[in-house]
A = this chain, B = another copy of it.
């Protein structure tokens, strides 16, 4: 057991992954990525959970940097944070795209 902590890179990808680690949040991201209008109410309509819970999930996605929101009184409009979305895309592609050890000694 080393005393070396995790790298920034590891923390960062885990942060993105964690934010995507709930079907409601995947559904939200999918919806936002496909819609022109992204009001809270529209999102809530799409999901099988109470508005308080939707609000919570949106907050987490915002804190993870995957989405952003702005007030358009009396509504709130959400959308994908494109910059961080691209970052996440690259990080997951690199991470999952790395060469997997294919040596025989590594399981069968």
| A residues neighboring B (CB under 8 Å) | 1-7, 10-11, 13-14, 17-27, 29-30, 32-38, 44-51, 68-70, 77-80, 82, 85, 88-89, 92-93, 95-101, 103, 105-108
A70–B99 CA distance with the chains assembled, in angstroms: 21
Task: State the Cβ distance, A65 to closest chain B Cβ, in Å.
Answer: 13
A90, closest chain B residue (CB): B96
CA distance A49 to B90 in the complex (A): 29
Q: Which residue of B lies closest to A17 (CB)?
A: B20
A97 x B89 contact (CB < 8 A) = yes
Can you report 13 A-B residue pairs in the complex whose CB atoms are below 8 A from each other? A2-B46, A6-B27, A14-B22, A14-B23, A17-B21, A21-B21, A33-B98, A35-B101, A37-B106, A69-B107, A80-B100, A88-B96, A93-B93
